[in-house]
Amino acid sequence: MQKLIAKYGAAAHLAIVAVAPLFLFPFFGAWTSAQVMLWTSLMGAVWLVLEPSLRSGERLHDARVRAAKAIRGDPLFWTMLALVAFCGMRALNTGIDLAYDPENSTWFMSKAAMPLMPGSAGEAGRLPFAAAVSAAVLVTGCRHSLGRSARLAFLLVASGLAGLAAVIAVVAVHTGAAAGAVAESELARSFAGFAFGVHLLCGLAAVDAVFERHWNAASPLLLFAVGGNAAGVMLFSPPYMAAFFAAAALVEFLYVFIHAWVKLQQPVQFKILVVCGLTVGAGWLLVSSLLPAEDFASRIAAFKSVKTLFPENFAEIRAMLSRVSFEGWISHLWAGTGVGSFPSVFRFHATPADWALLPRGSAAAASCWWQMLTERGLVGTVGVVLPFGFLSVTYARRLMLWPRAGGMPHPACLAGLLAAAAAVASGFFDGSLIRADALTALCSTVAISAASFPVKKEGESNGG
């Protein structure tokens, strides 16, 4: 029993950390979501320290010592701790808001309590702080506390829970309980479909794991891991993002099919084909049956050509918002104007023509990169990108060492690469990448992918 808990207990708890924001976004605000994420992160941190995966012939005490030593020697762990402290300070450094000077009859942006330090508008910094804590726990756990089987279990449980969250959100939209959250996502150009797309790629890799490891009792999770996340992408993504993830999912599925053909028994690849087809079909049926016929038809019609993937006048609006973002950023080069301050920045730098062009109620840049530079400055943008730089180096190193070990890598190795490619592409059109659910999903997926290449070394894990 202890070995079973050591194998999959930490993986299950880390999976809860990764998907917690997806259960919360349709119903709760940023502060409630941040509180839940912090408590689940604490639970996940306890598990990754006390119950790391066991290697062959290893006792639990030895595994704890090994994991603790690896964590202490990991530069990324200390980097992410520094980023957590930075985000916490920024969340506390509030005070940025529109203010009126009655003496001069002018509006201006009030400064944060510590003007020279990065700040935030109101409570806007709390959710990014919680996301930084969750990402630190997830990356540390995925890199140092999970063995081979536990990593695959993490992919299965996380993608299954994310698919369940997608089904709940789809039903909530149908009943009107989450209509406000969807409308807010449109105005903020920040879409939950990105996180569902990342978990869809993980779910496809988990399909291979279920057949490879003979996890027959867990196979019902695949209905959510693939079908549920596919429904989430269809409903909570703009057409261009859905197209990105459809292409990535097709590449992932082809590799899963080829891997099953080469590594597993002959009939398995056809079972995988049937499972993926049925689960995606179930997701399609769910969305098509709950959405009004006109809305569903318009979503399908958007895929007729590249031009229809984007809203009307999108290029013109994006160019205007990029110009405003640049003007706001260049005057606050290092620290930015403050997290959540873009609506105020737009007020001061937009022309009357810009106001006429902007959709009513819209309050975000049409690019994640400009949004980060404007609100976070160069320092905050580097803070977001730096962990992915470390993870990319690890991925490249494991890729280069793979030919020495031989063997065909598990499909999980491709999920992180495809998710990162989709993140870079969508980052030019919206701000979904800096959502809490997107950061937790992407960090954990890339960390798992880097560890999925076979490596020839002493004391290799027995699958724990």
- Distance separating alpha carbons of residues 460 and 405, to the nearest angstrom: 12
Beta pairing partners, 97? 110
CB under 8 Å to 36, separation ≥6 — which residues? 20, 24, 28
Query: Could you report how far apart the first and last alpha carbons of the chain are, in Å?
Result: 13
pTM: 0.94
The number of beta carbons lying within 10 Å of the beta carbon of residue 227 is 26
Percentage of the residues of the chain whose pLDDT score is greater than 70: 96
What's the rounded mean pLDDT across residues 282-300?
89
AA identity, residue 76:
L
- pLDDT score at 463: 40
Total length of the chain? 464
Beta pairing partners, 120? 339
Q: Burial, 41: exposed, middle or buried (Cβ in 10 Å; 0-12, 13-18, 19+)?
A: buried
- Distance separating alpha carbons of residues 146 and 125, to the nearest angstrom: 31
Confidence tier at 449 by pLDDT (50, 70, 90): very high
Residue 99 has pLDDT above 60, yes or no: yes
Residue 356 has pLDDT above 70, yes or no: yes
Beta pairing partners, 109? 98
For the stretch 5-41, pLDDT in tens is 556 899 999 999 999 999 999 999 899 999 999 999 9
Residue 363's SS3 state is coil
Cite the DSSP H helix spans in 93-178: 126-144, 148-175
The number of beta carbons lying within 10 Å of the beta carbon of residue 92 is 16
CA angle 143, 260, 409 (to 5 degrees): 30
What's the rounded mean pLDDT across residues 345-357?
89
Percentage of the residues of the chain whose pLDDT score is greater than 90: 69
Confidence tier at 106 by pLDDT (50, 70, 90): confident
Q: Are residues 215 and 225 in contact, defined by beta-carbon separation less than 8 angstroms?
A: no
Question: Bigger pLDDT: 269 or 385?
Answer: 385
What's the rounded mean pLDDT across residues 196-220?
94
Confidence tier at 411 by pLDDT (50, 70, 90): very high
Residue 176 has pLDDT above 90, yes or no: no
Residue 266 has pLDDT above 90, yes or no: no
How do 97-101 and 106-110 pair as beta strands?
antiparallel
- Distance separating alpha carbons of residues 456 and 120, to the nearest angstrom: 47
- Distance separating alpha carbons of residues 311 and 93, to the nearest angstrom: 37
What's the rounded mean pLDDT across residues 346-355?
89
Q: Are residues 107 and 98 in contact, defined by beta-carbon separation less than 8 angstroms?
A: yes
- Distance separating alpha carbons of residues 405 and 393, to the nearest angstrom: 19
- Distance separating alpha carbons of residues 61 and 241, to the nearest angstrom: 46
- Distance separating alpha carbons of residues 134 and 17, to the nearest angstrom: 7
For the stretch 241-255, pLDDT in tens is 999 999 999 999 999
Residue 180 has pLDDT above 90, yes or no: no
What's the rounded mean pLDDT across residues 400-427?
92
Q: Burial, 105: exposed, middle or buried (Cβ in 10 Å; 0-12, 13-18, 19+)?
A: exposed
